[in-house]
Amino acid sequence: MEGVKVNKHFYQKFVASALALIMFLGIFAGVDTVKAEAGLNVNADGAIMVDGETGRVLYQKNADSPLGIASMTKMMTEYLLLDAVKHGKVKWDQEYTVSDLVYKISQPTGLSNVPLRLGEKYNVRELYEAMAIYSANGTTIALAEVIGGSETNFVKMMNDKAKKLGLKNSKFVNSTGLNNKDYNGEQPQGTGAEEENVMSPRDVATLAYHLINDYPDVLKTASTPKKVFREGTDDRIVMQNWNWMLPSLVYGYQGMDGLKTGTTDFAGYCFTGTASRDGKRFITVVQNAKDVSGKNDGYKARFGETKKMLDYAFSNFTKETLVPKHYQVKGQKTVPVIKGKEDQVKIYTKSAINMIIQNGGKQDYKPVLVLDKNKLNKNGELTAPIKKGEKIGYLTVAPKSGEKVSFLTPEGGQQVKVDVIAVNGVEKSNWFVLMMRGVGNFFGDVWHGISTAVKGWFN
């Protein structure tokens, strides 16, 4: 079994209160999200589905409610490890000697584990593979000790990283996702004896989004269906991936290549999945998935609800070019210019805007042009000189319904925003031309004043 039994009623009041609060707060969802919510009924306490490229939210249910995550916790441990490797703080061939705590946690067969020997040396890569493929708890704590010096310090790193990633409804009390009672009194310092990690579906999806986009190689390991740990030794064990939706496993799904399962009594059956087909990638999260067949098959439930979301996504969403390169907004194709050889400049988009949208929903969006106020005078004019290709503002798209398009991160929203630039340069006029224009404008104003006065005399 992947997880471990814990107290079902622990945190019950906390979670119930959070759920009630979210129901009152409500959310701003894009038009496609509304349609997806109408077309899907995901049987889980919390769920979310997003575009894997931009993080655009396509479906959500109790998305901001803090819920149990169990071994999905290990995605944060993976992120911190891969970050440490990238910055040269940890090396793949670096050796680790098993501590007393790691040895004790790695022995129970009721937990996800590979056998580790006290005092034995293991390298970081094999510890990582055991964690990512087999959800091994002992190797996870070992990696926490490698990176943080102790699991107590590593948990602080986890919570600090959560803040930096914008995870607003998350709390980590250990590196594994176990309930702290399984540490038998040796849980990280400063955490409760029966505490367990919690995250909201939005936070889980945000973590997964950062993980696969910042460190895409994680999918090579996460998509490994089976691997042998310590081949050729007495500790040899075949590690079958707990993600049974990998194409060659029990609930095989085309394009599935990640990411992490999780199971405890408190969290229920959880799964963060990601699949890619035809140039589209989606990320899904289910927390405490429910089996409506009445057979209480949590494994089938979490994979079944994930399949439901992914089937809907691949069938109902498509990547469309909403705004082509060099697009000009009708009625706003030029901007007036002062002190230039020309009195206006043409503008267009530097690049195209592509976005995952509901099939046939292209007409539901409109372009929104925003000019740079710092470059305009009070009359809305640019001042020469203006260089060819100079940024004049930006263009984005918005649903005609007035609803907001929701993204997991601010960076995701930037992907549907493109620069608006000057098509041609406008040189500044020389002093003589500017003077003559000034004189002409002066006499023009004088003549206008005289003609107005004359008309007044004869009326």
| 135 is a catalytic site residue | yes
How far, in whole angstroms, is CA 233 from its chain's centroid? Answer: 41
**What does residue 398 show for φ and ψ, rounded to 5 degrees?**
-145, 145
137-148 helix and 74-86 helix, angle to the nearest 10 degrees: 40
- Which among 35, 61, 65, 71 is annotated as catalytic? 71
Q: Which residue has the tokens 């406008």?
A: 426
The DSSP element (H or E) to which 237 belongs, if any, is strand 237-240
Distance CA 159, CA 419 (A): 36
Distance CA 156, CA 174 (A): 9
- Which among 99, 135, 276, 406 is annotated as catalytic? 135
Q: Are 262 and 69 in contact (CB under 8 A)?
A: yes
Q: Are 57 and 407 in contact (CB under 8 A)?
A: yes
- Which among 35, 61, 74, 290 is annotated as catalytic? 74
The DSSP element (H or E) to which 351 belongs, if any, is none
Angle, CA 275 vertex, CA 140 and CA 199 arms, to 5°: 45
Handedness of CA 243, 248, 250, 251 (dihedral sign): positive
DSSP letter assigned to residue 219: H
E-strand ranges in 278-390 read 280-289, 317-323, 334-338, 344-349, 353-358, 365-371, 382-383
Catalytic (active-site) positions: 71, 74, 135
